[in-house]
């Protein structure tokens, strides 16, 4: 164990933090240590230890109600807002314990972005939807905002479709476009990690393909964790896969290995469609 200075924006003040892992290079971007999540008396996630490497896509799979979405929402502390929700264990982001009281949860969410199952555009223009986050976090110059909006929309593969009517309502876009707008909105915050909660489950195949392609592009810059019900999708886009069942993480490994040669019998059954 060594003490290092971590000049991270996540902390409210610059503090010395005890980093539990080794040098910067091998340290995972994000890891959980015996993370449990409770809703009142019900335990939704039990003792999950997982590591997420930088610039990789990790897919979380498992049957409905297995706790994968709850686990995902724990990572940027979205569960804080649910009454009666309690967490135990640790989440470390760049070695920083996210549930520590020194941590500013608003900064955490700024760096660990999230996109939801259904597209949730704000009732504002396309431009404002993307620019809103940066404006709130202090970007004032029009030029700078224009650049961020264009950049984010390009990264989300939406720019060419909307560049001529940026100032029209976002509610007029199609579902697939709205979801890519939500991804652009998350990217405008320049997050380090992006959490995707079944981002394509409400979309048609063409839009789904676009979003999958997008994920492949994005992982060059950021770390992605995606919850999906679609096994083919997990196989196509992820580098690593974790299988959840009844609130526990059953197996975690390289995607190819999980799908071709799972260690656990349960995982094999789920992947071959015997558990649904």
Binding site for other proteins (CB under 8 A): 76, 78, 81, 83, 106-110, 113-116, 118, 120, 122-125, 128, 132-133, 136-137, 167-171, 182, 185-186, 189
Give least dist CB 158 to other proteins, A: 17
Beta strands in the chain (DSSP E): 2-5, 16-19, 30-39, 42-52, 57-61, 85-93, 96-97, 112-115, 193-197, 223-227, 240-245, 248-254
Residue 187 or 214 with smaller CB distance to other proteins: 187
Q: Which is nearer to other proteins, 111 or 238 (CB)?
A: 111
In angstroms, rounded to a whole number, what is the distance separating the alpha carbons of residues 181 and 159? 9
Which of 4/171 has CB closer to other proteins?
171
The distance of closest approach from Cβ of residue 120 to other proteins in the complex, given in angstroms and rounded to an integer, is 4
To the nearest whole angstrom, how small is the minimum distance from the Cβ of residue 129 to other proteins?
10
- Minimum CB–partner distance for residue 80 and other proteins (Å): 9
Question: Which tokens go with 131?
Answer: 């620019």
| Pairing assessment for the beta strands 57-61 and 223-227 based on DSSP bridges | parallel
Q: Which residue has the tokens 């905002």?
A: 145
Nearer to other proteins, 158 or 258 (CB): 158
User: Cα–Cα distances in Å, from 72 out to 142, 150, 193, 231, 254?
Assistant: 34, 29, 12, 18, 19
Query: What DSSP character marks residue 11?
Result: B
Q: Decide: 27 and 21 in contact? Cβ < 8 Å.
A: yes
| Minimum CB–partner distance for residue 16 and other proteins (Å) | 25
Looking at the DSSP assignment, which residues form a beta bridge with residue 195?
A: 114, 225
Nearer to other proteins, 199 or 262 (CB): 199
Q: Closest approach of Cβ 61 to other proteins, in Å?
A: 22
Q: Closer to other proteins at the Cβ: 5 or 120?
A: 120
């Amino acid at each position: 164990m060594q003490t290092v200075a971590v000049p991270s924006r996540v902390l409210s003040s610059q503090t010395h933090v005890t980093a539990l892992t080794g040098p910067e290079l091998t340290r995972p971007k994000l890891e959980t240590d015996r993370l449990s999540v409770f809703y009142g008396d019900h335990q939704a996630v039990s003792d999950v230890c997982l590591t997420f490497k930088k610039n990789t896509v990790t897919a979380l799979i498992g049957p409905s109600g297995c706790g994968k979405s709850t686990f995902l929402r724990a990572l940027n502390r979205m569960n804080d807002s649910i009454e009666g929700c309690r967490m135990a264990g640790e989440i470390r982001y760049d070695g920083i314990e996210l549930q520590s009281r020194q941590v500013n949860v608003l900064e955490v969410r700024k760096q660990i972005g999230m996109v939801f199952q259904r597209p949730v555009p704000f009732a504002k223009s396309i431009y404002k939807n993307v620019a809103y986050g940066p404006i709130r976090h202090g970007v004032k110059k029009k030029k700078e905002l224009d650049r961020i909006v264009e950049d984010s929309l390009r990264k989300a593969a939406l720019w060419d479709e909307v560049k001529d009517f940026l100032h029209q309502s976002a509610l007029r876009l199609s579902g697939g476009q709205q979801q890519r707008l939500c991804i652009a909105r998350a990217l405008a915050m320049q997050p380090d990690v992006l959490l995707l909660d079944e981002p394509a489950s409400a979309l048609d195949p063409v839009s789904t393909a676009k979003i999958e392609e997008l994920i492949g592009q994005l992982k060059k810059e950021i770390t992605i964790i995606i919850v999906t019900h679609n096994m083919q999708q997990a196989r196509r886009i992820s580098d690593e896969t974790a299988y959840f069942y009844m609130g526990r993480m059953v197996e975690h490994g390289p995607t190819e290995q999980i799908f071709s040669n799972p260690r656990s019998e349960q995982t094999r059954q789920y992947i071959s469609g015997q558990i649904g």
